[in-house]
Amino acid sequence: MSKMRFYALKELTNRSAVEVTPPSSKLSDYYASHVFDRKKMQEYLPREAFKAVMDAIEKATPISREMADLIANGMKSWAKSLNVTHYTHWFQPLTDGTAEKHDGFIEFSEDGGVIERFSGKLLIQQEPDASSFPNGGIRNTFEARGYTAWDVSSPAFVVDTTLCIPTIFISYTGEALDYKTPLLKALAAVDKAATEVCQLFDKNVTRVYANLGWEQEYFLVDLALYNARPDLCLTGRTLMGHSSAKDQQLEDHYFGSIPPRVTSFMKELEIECHKLGIPVKTRHNEVAPNQFELAPIFENANLANDHNQLVMDLMKRIASKHQFAVLFHEKPYSGVNGSGKHNNWSLSTDTGINLFAPGRNPKGNMLFITFLVNVLMMVYKNQNLLRASIASASNCYRLGANEAPPSILSIFLGKQLSAMLDEIVKKVTDTKMTPEEKTILKLGIGRIPEILLDNTDRNRTSPFAFTGNRFEFRATGSSANCAAPMIAINAAMASQLNEFKASVDKLMEEEVGKDEAIFRVLKEMIIASEPIRFEGDGYSEEWKQEAARRGLSNISCVPEALLHYTDHQSRYVLLGEKIFNESELTSRLEVELEKFTKKVQIESRVLGDLAINHIVPIAVSYQNRLLENLRGLKEIFSPEEFETMSGDRKELVREISRRVTAIKTLVAEMIEARKVANNKPTHKEQAFTYDEMVRPYLDKIRDHIDHLEMEIDDDIWPLPKYRELLFNK
C-alpha cells in the first residue's frame, strides 16, 4: 500500500465526533445575532438614517451622502460589539464562489495618530481590481478598475472578525461582472410584470416578490482520504475508481440514521447559519453513501441566493474542523447518485397571496390558473434558456443519471390539474360566452383546492415540477450559483406575463369583457404549451422519442446548451427585459464557454498525470512481481506442471501489459487533442473541440485504470478506493 493511502486510512482510526454546544439552548437568543438586520438598525441608527435605509429597500429611494455616513457609523459601532477589525464588500463574480477584499477600519488622524473610521463612501462603493475576474472580453487585462456597490436589500453580516457588506460588482464602464446585478434586474422585472397581471384581479396588489427555497445536496469525505486523492482535490470528482461492491443498491442510506461525526458537523453548521440569519431547517441522509442534504425556509430570492453562497463557504470551513472535505461537484463518484440544488420557486404578493397556490374562491383560483398557465408557456417558449442556465462541465455528468432529471425540459402538473386545464380548453369558445357557460367554468375552477388535496405526488424525473404551491427546478447543479437559473426563470416569466397582459388588453379594447378575455388568452396558451406537459418517466427511451415528436429540445452537449443564451428567444427575453445589454450577454456566453473549456482541460491534465505517474508505475511493478513469480515456478516445476499452473498468471501479465500500453497511448493522444483544441481561435471553437476531442479520452483512460484496480494487489494500489471514500464517516 502506498504511504499516502496507508497514512490516510490509519488516520481514520483516530476520528471521533467533536462536541458542539450552541451559545444558548434557545434558538431565538442567538438567531441573526451576527446580522445587521432591522432590529439592530433601529438600535444603532438615528431615526432619519433608519428611515433612509427602509425607503431604499422598499421604494428604491437613493441614500444621501449624509445618511450614508450615519449608517456606516452605526454599522461600525454594531460590528465593533462583535470584535470586528475589518470590513469587506462581499460580491459574487462569475466564478464558482464569492469574493472579498478585507480592509481594516484603521486610518491616520489629523495629529498623525491612528483611529478607527468607516465612512458612508466606503460603505456604498469601493474599487476592487476587476482585471483578474472572468469578464468575457468586456475589459482588457490592463484595465483594472471595477466597482462594488452596496445592495441595501441584503443585510450586512459578520463572519469571524470581518464585517461583510453584500454588493453588486460592475466594470468601470458600468457592465455587470457578477451574478447579483442581473438577478436584481430580473426580480424587478417580474415584480413589475406580475403586479400588473395581479391588478386585473385585485387592485390592492402593489408588489410581487420572487421567493426561493434551495435544497443543497453534498458529499462528505474524510479529509485524509480527500488529500490522498489528487483528482478530488484538483477537480472535485474522482477521475478513476472502480465501483464499490456495495454502494446505494440497498437504499439503506436514504433518510437513515445520521452518523455521530456527521451530526456534529451539521450541528455546528446550523449554529453558524442561525447566527447569520440563515433559516436552515432540514437535514438528512441522501441516496448515495456519505451524501447529505441541507434545506432552509423560503426567503426572498435575492437574500436566499446570498444565503446559499454563504452556506457553501461556511460548509467548507466547518467541514475541515471536523476532518471532512465537502464535495459540491454534481458527480464526484461514478455510478452513484449525483448532487443537485433544487430551486423551489414561487411568487407572492404584498397582500399575502402565494400566486402558485389555489385561492379560497373562484376569483382566487382564476388568479392561480392564470399564473400556472403563464408558467407553462414560459417554460415551453424558453426551454433552451432554462437549459443553458444550468449547463456546466460538472452538471452534464449528473443530468439523466440516477435521480437527476433528464436534459429534456418538461413540466409535471399531475393528472388532475392537467385535466382541469383541458376542461378550460373544451369550455371556452372564441365566440361570446353565455353567463351560464361562465358560471359552469368558474364552478369547475372553484374545485381546484379539493383536486390538489389528493394530488400530492411528485415526479422525480421532471426537471420542472409543480409541487402544490411552488415549482421545483430540479435540474440545477449542486455547485451552481442559484442566481443563474433564477435570472433566467424570473426574466422569462416577466416577459411572458407582459405578453399575456398585452393580449388581454387588446381583447378588452375590442370590447370583450375582462373575464372572457382572460379565458380566451388562457385557452390559447394551454393549447400552445401542451407539449411541455408530461406526467411519465423522464428517463425512458420512449419519452426521448415522444419529446422529439413534440418538438422539445434534448441538448446533452454543454457548449451547444450554452449557445442558447444568445439565440433569438433568449435575446428577446434577456435584452427585452433589460437584464443584460448586448455586450453583457455576449460576455456571459464567453465566460461560460471558457469555464467549460478550462474545467475539461484541468481534468484531462490531472488524469494524464495520475495515469502516467501513479497508475502505470504501480501496474508495471505488480507485473514484475508476477514475472518473478513465473520465473520461480519455472525453476521448481517441470515444463508440463509449469504450463498447467502458470496459465492464469501469464494471462494477467498480458492483460496488464495491454492496459498499460493502452493508457500510455491514450494519454499521448489526449495531449495532442488538447494542443489542437488550445490552438482554436475562439472560445466557442475551443469548447466544442474539448467536448468532442478531449472529453471522450477521460472515459477511455478511466476504463483501463478501473480494470487495473481490480487486477492489481490491493496492498500496493496507490489511491483510496470507492469503498473507503464512500463508507468512512
- What is the pLDDT, as a whole number, of residue 552? 95
Are the C-beta atoms of 240 and 610 separated by less than 8 Å? yes
> What mean pLDDT is predicted for residues 367-385?
97
Residue 626 grid coordinates: 508476477
Give the closest residue to 331 by CA, choosing from 393, 253, 398, 402.
Answer: 398
Average the pLDDT over 161-169 and give the result.
95
Q: What is the value of pTM for the model shown?
A: 0.94
Q: Around Cβ 631, how many Cβ atoms within 10 Å? A: 10
pLDDT of 439 higher than 70: no
pLDDT recorded at residue 1: 64
- Residue 230: pLDDT band (50, 70, 90) is very high
The model's confidence at residue 144, banded by pLDDT at 50, 70 and 90, is low
Mean model confidence pLDDT for the chain? 91
**What are the φ and ψ backbone dihedral angles of 245, each rounded to 5 degrees?**
-55, -35
Contact 277, 27 (CB under 8 A): no
The more confident residue out of 68 and 453 is: 68
What is the pLDDT averaged over residues 495-506?
Answer: 97
Local structure of 114: helix, strand or coil = strand
For residue 442, pLDDT over 70 is answered with no
Mean pLDDT within 191-203? 97
Pairing between β-strand 464-466 and β-strand 411-412 as defined by DSSP bridges: parallel
Integer Cα distance of 468 and 125 in angstroms = 42
Provide the pLDDT for residue 424.
86
What pLDDT shows up at residue 456? 46
Write the DSSP assignment of 223-287 as a string of letters. HHHHHT-HHHHHHSS-SS-PPPSSSSTT--STT-PPPHHHHHHHHHHHHHHHHTT--EEEEEE-S
How large is the average pLDDT for residues 509-523? 91
Mean pLDDT of 193-217: 97
DSSP 18: P
Minimum mean pLDDT range among 186-190, 530-534, 539-543: 539-543
pLDDT tens by residue, 684-699:
999 999 999 999 999 9
Burial 247-270 (b: 16+ CB within 10 A, else e): bbeeeebeeeebbebbebbbbbbb
pLDDT at res. 685: 97
Cβ-defined contacts of 541-548 (< 8 Å, 24+): 543/406, 543/408, 544/406, 544/408, 547/408, 547/410
Distance of CA 18 to the CA centre of its chain: 29
- Inform me whether the pLDDT recorded for 540 exceeds 60: yes
Take residue 620 and report the three cell numbers written for it: 508495471
**Measured distance CA(64)–CA(51) in Å, rounded:** 12
Q: Which of 287-296, 428-437, 594-603 has the lowest mean pLDDT?
A: 428-437
Q: Kindly list the distances between the CA atom of residue 621 and the CA atoms of 3, 576, 615, 654, in Å, as whole numbers in the listed order.
A: 16, 63, 10, 14
Between 77-91, 107-121, 672-686, the lowest mean confidence (pLDDT) is in 107-121
Q: How far apart are CA 347 and CA 197, in angstroms?
A: 12
pLDDT of residue 672: 98
Nearest C-alpha neighbor of 579 from the set 392, 394, 382 = 382
* CA separation for the pair 336, 288 (Å, rounded): 6
Percent of the chain with pLDDT over 90: 71
Secondary element (H or E) of residue 163:
strand 162-171
From residue 588, alpha-carbon distances to 165, 227, 376, 643 in Å are: 25, 34, 26, 65
pLDDT score, position 401: 58
Computed on alpha carbons and rounded to an integer, the radius of gyration of the chain in Å comes to 29
**Cα-based angle 144, 149, 153 (whole degrees, multiple of 5):** 155
281 versus 250: the higher-pLDDT residue is 281
CA 480 to chain centre: 3
Strands (E), 470-537: 471-473
- DSSP-assigned states of every residue in 53-81: HHHHHHH-PPPPHHHHHHHHHHHHHHHHT
Name the one residue in this structure whose C-alpha cell is 435544497. 215
Is residue 632 very low, low, confident or very high in pLDDT (cuts 50, 70, 90)?
very high
- Reported as a pLDDT band with limits 50, 70 and 90, residue 662 is very high
| Residue 248 scores a pLDDT above 90 | no
| Range of lowest pLDDT (126-135, 147-156, 416-425, 642-651) | 126-135
Phi-psi region of 596 (alpha: psi -120 to 50; beta: other; left: phi over 0): alpha
Range in 210-219, 361-370, 556-565 with the lowest mean pLDDT:
361-370
